[in-house]
Amino acid sequence: MASIRRTLSPLYQDRSYHIGVASAQAHKLFSTNNNSGKYSSLTSTSAVSAAFVYIRRKGFRRSFYRCMIFFILGLLLGVFPSGHVDNEINKHDFSFEMKPPHVNVQLDTKGNFALSAVSLGVEKTTPQLDRLSRFDYVERKQVIVITPTYNRALQAYFLNRLGQVLRLVQPPLLWIVVEMTSASAETAEILRKTGVMYRHLVCVNKNNTNVKDRGVHQRNAGLEHIERHRLDGIVYFADDDNVYSLELFESLRNISRFGTWPVAMLAQSKNKAILEGPVCNASQVIGWHTNEKSKKLRRFHVDMSGFAFNSTILWDPRRWKRPFSNPIRQLDTVKEGFQETTFIEQVVEDESQMESVPPSCSRILNWHLHLDAHGLVYPRGWLLQKNLEVVQLIR
């Protein structure tokens, strides 16, 4: 009898009721016999199974409704985007301008009207967009400036003045500063503060005290550094005691092989100004300015700061078809005043391989004034250890 009642139990015939109804009916059917343990265990098991069935059905419905809500929300966001649309491209890249059709009417041999090709007047414009023009990028040659320097009273003033000029030059620019025997901390500090890309070199194993020989060896150290590292650019010897215009460094980038220009300088007597350098006709060098009789024996009458050349001449002789491959250096065995001409003779053959800077040599771009003060005492570190005494005049 227990098995028959279990089969005919209404819990297994209808499962579409709620949890409360199912538990009430099960309790009502099996509560008549409280002495049987089988009926009490059957009642609790049936109620729990009915509750799980309802929870599964209800959970599936909730998940289905949530998925539908998110699907509809994503569909609406895709149809109506909230982002910013750049209309500038649509206006400029394609422009369709409606014009009245062009009709060419002609008369044939029989006097009838004949129509030629008809243009619909739809024009398509596609402007060319250059990304580089947006950044105003201009490719420039590198300027390599070699400056020999040594300890003296006005060294800090000269280096700071030249560094501020080079700071205004458009990059790329490399400033090679060469010292004798050792690199001083004061010079390194000045170079760091200028904001110019620099290389601080030392001319080793050269303990010459002669100013002429010292400058020659320092410039040769800079040339050796360029040749070893194959630096590409325009090489210029800029002494720290000269005065330079900003236009000079910008004009150096126009040099192809070798460029030269006149330099204004004070005579040794300091009572007159002289001009030394080329005489130009347009971009050609046709002669030289010279005012001293002792320098008439020179092949090229030019100051050390009055010429510049392409650095590839130092390390790529095949490009310039040089007849010899010896390193190009300044000579310390020649007399003073002949270092320039002996060096230029290694770079070019004659004036036909030279270029005038600027065209026709129409302007003076730098000055050699010989303003170095030899009588001043050089303070260590460019600092005065004691303050200057103040004398108060009592009337």
Cβ(238)–Cβ(244) below 8 Å: yes
Cβ(127)–Cβ(92) below 8 Å: yes
Q: What is the DSSP string of 321-380?
A: T-S--------SSSPTT-HHHHHHHHH-SSGGG-EESSGGG-S--EEE-----SSS---G
340 is catalytic: yes
What is the pLDDT, as a whole number, of residue 246?
A: 95
Where does residue 233 fall: left (phi above 0), alpha (psi -120 to 50 degrees), or beta otherwise? Answer: left
Which residues does the annotation place in the binding site for Mn(2+)? 241
In tens digits, the chain (395 residues) has pLDDT values of 444 444 444 444 444 444 444 444 444 444 444 444 444 444 555 655 665 566 566 667 778 888 888 888 888 877 765 555 444 444 445 454 555 555 555 555 555 555 555 454 545 444 454 544 445 567 899 999 999 999 888 899 999 999 999 999 999 999 999 999 889 999 999 999 999 999 999 998 655 556 567 999 999 999 999 999 999 999 999 999 999 999 999 999 999 999 999 999 887 777 888 899 999 998 999 999 886 665 668 899 999 999 999 999 999 988 888 777 789 999 988 888 899 999 999 999 999 999 999 888 989 999 988 776 666 665 666 666 665 555 555 54
Pair of tokens at residue 180: 């004798």
- CA pair distance 126, 134, nearest whole angstrom: 18
What is the pLDDT, as a whole number, of residue 315?
A: 93
Q: Which residue has the tokens 């007597």?
A: 269
Which residues does the annotation place in the binding site? 241
Catalytic residue among 88, 97, 247, 340: 340
- If 0-12 CB within 10 Å is exposed, 13-18 middle and 19+ buried, where does residue 259 land? buried
What is the pLDDT, as a whole number, of residue 23?
A: 45
Cβ(358)–Cβ(263) below 8 Å: no
- CA pair distance 283, 357, nearest whole angstrom: 8
Pair of tokens at residue 177: 């500063």
What is the pLDDT, as a whole number, of residue 382?
A: 61
What is the pLDDT, as a whole number, of residue 26?
A: 42
Evaluate if pTM is beyond 0.85: no
Question: Minimal CA–CA distance to 264: which of 300, 237, 284, 291?
Answer: 291
Question: Minimal CA–CA distance to 218: which of 95, 304, 312?
Answer: 304
